[in-house]
Chains A and B, each alone.
Chain A
Amino acid sequence: MKRQYLYILFLLPLLLACKPKAPTHVVDAGTADFTKFIAIGDGHTAGYMDDGLSLDGQKNSLGAMIQQQLMMAGAPAIEMPWMSDQNIGLSLNGLSRLILGYKTDCQGISSLSPVRVSLQGETSALTSSAYNPSKKYSNFGVPGVRMIDMVSTAFGNINLPQHNPFFARMSKDQFNLPGSGNYSSVQENIFDGGYPTFCSIYLGIEDVLPYARSGATQHPMSPLAGFPGVGFEESLTQLCEQLYGQHVNAVIATIPNISDWPFFNTIPYNGLTLDAEKAASLNQIYNPIGISFVVGANPFMVADPNAGMFGVRPAVPGEKILLTAPLDSVKCNQMGSIFPFRNEFVLTTDELATIQLRIDEFNAVIRQKATSYGFALVETGDFYDKLTTGFAYNGATLSAKFVSGGAFSLDGIHLNPRGNALLANEFIKAINKKFSAKIPLINALNYNAILFP
């Protein structure tokens, strides 16, 4: 075969991508004035997480996240009663914060579990005042503060057992008043450095949470009615009136449905897993009172004084077994089966309904105040509902699941830095909407979720 004609075309184009110009974005405070911003709230606003307050948590607090964005539109630098240690942290019980580590259970099995980062929390923070008259705080997040504590002069009184150590260390009283002295309230401290121009207010969780955490055994919820310092509504009214009288604008948030949090949902009501032998031995004990067990998943046994003469019954769907339930005793000492869970580890459906009713009442008040004072409103319930169903965020999936959900910290109650960033975005959205502002949202992926060893 002779070639008559061979044609070769060889093309080597170079593919170059050019750099498009960066667009410019307008950041604008709208009708709001952030030049003196103060974040008011509880442990969420303060950066309490992993059951402790640490410097790292403070920097990643809800209050700091909101303020950091508002700084683009005129808010001042963040001033907080900084803890001195980055990591150790301090819990309300004096313990250090939780991290994810390896823990060996009663059966000798080692697995990933929340463990305390050190033997003791940063207790030195309890005896040294963080108050500095030349640096007024822009963050009045106080772990544990209730709405009804805001005007309380007992709240920072170190001579009283019920005082709050986190507030005492930041109060302008600096521990040093005599026993008979007139201690200042949180609210007085907030306005000590002059009135702010803008506030974020996220209060009310602590008015219900301690009751729920105790399995509805201790710490009664705040009443709705009553004078400031007693009832929820009038305590909030007084705060709002004081702000309104000074033309302070604000963003205020409702109380989420706390019973959706991992603290109440990690241990399932029917988490009692039995093999044939264990089911048989429990049946021997319980069959005479009409309770039987099967191989596989069974409801835990819970103590209930109303449940017949033995005061014990199986948990029912919808009931919550709390994260405080001693799982080692479940594994090795028949807790939750032969020995029923005590009331402090269980929220019954009746108790849950009571808590929900109170939250709904409080939220109705918060919504009404937001409307009448012209505050921006954050429906935190919508945010936590989304977390409960789970959602995608820039390719990461976040949910309310303990540890794996990536939004809650290891105490199952407070959000981790990434969760705080996402919740802060809800505050920013509400501010943008109400005050026609243009504040960009936070890239929550820049903040840590759960760190693994």
Chain B
Amino acid sequence: MYVDSATNEMYRTENPVGTPLNFYALVKPKRFHRLAYGLSVTTPFGSTVQYEPGWIGRFAITRLSMKVFHIQPTASFKITDNISIGAGFVFSPGSVNLQKDLPVQFNDGTFGHAEISGAAMGYGYNVGVYYNPGGFLSAGLSYRSGINMSVSDGQVDFTVPEGLAPNFPNGTLSASLALPSVTTLGLNIKPNASWNIVADINYVGWNTYDTLAFDYATNTGSLLDTKSPRMYKNIFAFRGGIQYAVFAKDNVLNVRLGGGFGFSPVPTGYLTPETPDGNRAYFTSGISYEFNKHFSFDASIYATKITRADTNLETQLSGTFTTIAWAPGIGINYNW
């Protein structure tokens, strides 16, 4: 929801149901028990934002749909009984569709429209080390590199009055989006079989995202390449959680409670409606139930509210964004 500071006008985003996907698989070969292979498929940055028709920021954005998949094959090696190391690649295919209105009007008053779409690809790697001295405490340190998602063959389509069509030629464009590196230090405390406490610190290298640039293959006096400053900064994020296990014969019920706090990488003056981000505190809660040795079921909920007021220096959009999200999730685990 956006409330404009000058007019008090309020606009909502439509409520697209996002379907984030997380898939993990782990293989441990019997003969080389020091080795393990893993594969994960995650959608860490997928989002769809659609603002209601006629909203005041329509020239900044009307709809943004972005999908990023991280496909990470990873291998780990147990050097000693206490120390393991791991490394892997990140393949990151994605797609983007960005739409906005143009401040040119048809004779009936409707605005022109631009739609930019394209497929993106990025590559990166991850490394990590895990230390388990054997007591109730264990720790891990991991690093995932920054990933430059580049759209090399995007398409831009303009809907503009006939009299302006020569100024807005449809065609190809290129763009790129820098996804940040993430350094994570995690701690796991397991004082006994029932209790498990986790905490981690993330350091996210957002400062690579300083500009959002679109390079149009064909430029005209009205259609110049754009370079919008984003000026993101590196941030810390903190997470913590506690799990309690109830044992009953073969079945185990785990109850979890957690929360986190992350600083926003978006500096004052650079808040945009495409990612109306602010410092965020959130709570999570979940249960999982192990029916037997192989099969367990997982349910969770995530809740957050972000409110942030800003005046964007580039567009002069000035108002307050409020995002409330409830994200229930379910999971299925199967062990062979």
- Is B163 within 8 A of A453, CB to CB? yes
> Do A18 and B325 touch (CB < 8 A)?
yes
A7 at the interface (CB under 8 A from B): yes
| Contact (Cβ within 8 A) B1 A19 | yes
Report the minimal beta-carbon distance from A2 to chain B, rounded to whole angstroms.
5
**For chains A and B in complex, what number of residue pairs have CB atoms within 8 angstroms?**
186
A1 contact from B31, B59, B325, B335, Cβ within 8 A: B31
- What's the Cα separation between A449 and B15 when bound, in Å? 31
Candidates A13, A20, A425, A441; contact of B327 at CB < 8 Å: A13
Q: Do A9 and B164 contact each other (CB < 8 Å), given the known contacts A392-B314, A394-B317? A: no
In chain A, what residue has the closest Cβ to B302? Answer: A13
| Interface membership of B194, Cβ < 8 A | no
Q: Are B17 and A14 in contact (CB under 8 A)?
A: yes
CB distance A7 to B326 under 8 Å?
no
Q: In whole angstroms, what is the CA distance A2 to B32 when docked?
A: 10
> When chains A and B are docked, how far (Å) is the Cα of A14 from the Cα of B18?
6
Is A119 at the interface (CB under 8 A from chain B)? no
Question: Which of A7, A14, A22, A404 contacts B333 (CB under 8 A)?
Answer: A7
CB distance from A125 to the nearest CB of B (A): 24
Nearest residue (CB) in B for A392 is B316
Segment at the interface with A among B103-111, B128-136, B247-255: B103-111
What residues of chain A lie closer than 8 Å to B163, measured between beta carbons? 100, 102, 112, 452-453
Question: How many angstroms from the CA of A365 to the CA of B10 in the assembled complex?
Answer: 41
CA distance A450 to B112 in the complex (A): 12
Given A2-B29, A395-B57, check contact A15 B325 (CB 8 Å): yes
Residues of B within 8 A of A1 (CB): 29-31
Q: At the interface, yes or no: B161 with Cβ under 8 Å from chain A?
A: yes
Q: How distant is A402 from chain B, measured CB to nearest CB, in Å? A: 14
- In this assembly, does B53 line the interface, its C-beta being within 8 Å of a C-beta of chain A? no
B4 close to chain A: CB less than 8 A: yes
- Which of B3, B30, B328 meets A2, CB within 8 Å? B30
* Contact (Cβ within 8 A) A445 B58: yes
* Closest A residue by C-beta to B30: A4
Asked if A7 and B24 sit within 8 Å, CB to CB, the answer is yes
Given contacts A4-B28, A8-B333, A442-B7, are A13 and B316 in contact (CB under 8 A)?
no
Residue B324 CB within 8 A of the other chain: yes
Q: Which residue of A lies closest to B160 (CB)?
A: A452
- Name A446's closest neighbour in chain B (CB-CB): B54
A23 within 8 A of B: yes
Cβ contact of A13, chosen from B4, B33, B328, cutoff 8 A: B328
When distances are taken between beta carbons in the complex, the residues of chain A under 8 Å from B316 are 391-395
Q: Please, which residues of chain A bring their CB within 8 A of the CB of B213?
A: none
Complex-state Cα separation, A397 to B224, whole angstroms: 14
Say how far A335's CB is from chain B's closest CB, in angstroms.
26
Q: Mark B283-326, 1 if CB is under 8 A from A, else 0.
A: 00000000000000010101001000000001111000011111
Please judge, given known A-B contacts A2-B29, A443-B4, A452-B105, whether A22 and B10 are in contact too, CB under 8 Å: yes
- Shortest A328–chain B CB gap in Å is 20
Minimum CB–CB distance from A422 to chain B (whole Å) comes to 11
Residues of the B chain whose Cβ atoms lie less than 8 Å from the Cβ of A2:
29-31
Cβ contact of B161, chosen from A6, A443, A449, A452, cutoff 8 A: A452
Neighbouring A residues of B336 by C-beta, 8 Å: 3, 5-7
B212 within 8 A of A: no
Residues of B within 8 A of A452 (CB): 104-107, 160-164
Known: A11-B21, A15-B20, A440-B6. A5 touches B334 (CB 8 A): no
Task: Indicate whether A18 sits within 8 Å of B103 (C-beta atoms), given known contacts A440-B8, A451-B109, A453-B162.
Answer: no
**A109, CB-defined interface residue at 8 Å:** no
State the CA gap A353–B103 with chains docked (Å). 36
B195 contacts partner chain A, Cβ-Cβ < 8 Å? no
Chain B residues near A451 (CB-CB < 8 A)? 105-109
Residue among A11, A406, A451, A453 having the largest count of chain B Cβ atoms under 10 Å = A11
In the complex, the answer to whether A394 meets B57 with C-beta atoms within 8 Å is yes
CB distance from A198 to the nearest CB of B (A): 21
B25–A4 touching, CB < 8 Å: no
Which chain B residue shows the least CB distance to A438? B8
Binding site for A on B (CB under 8 A): 1, 3-4, 6-10, 12-13, 15, 17-31, 33, 54, 56-60, 100, 103-109, 160-164, 222, 298, 300, 302, 305, 314-317, 322-336
Q: Can you spell out 15 A-B residue pairs with CB atoms less than 8 angstroms apart?
A: A1-B31, A8-B23, A8-B25, A9-B333, A11-B21, A11-B298, A12-B329, A22-B10, A23-B3, A23-B10, A25-B8, A396-B103, A440-B9, A442-B7, A445-B56
6 A-B pairs closest in CB distance: A13-B329, A395-B59, A15-B18, A452-B161, A396-B103, A395-B60
A395-B315, A440-B6 known; 19 new pairs, CB 8 Å cut-off, are A1-B29, A1-B31, A5-B335, A6-B25, A8-B334, A11-B22, A11-B330, A12-B21, A12-B331, A15-B327, A20-B1, A20-B305, A22-B10, A394-B56, A425-B6, A440-B9, A443-B4, A443-B7, A449-B103
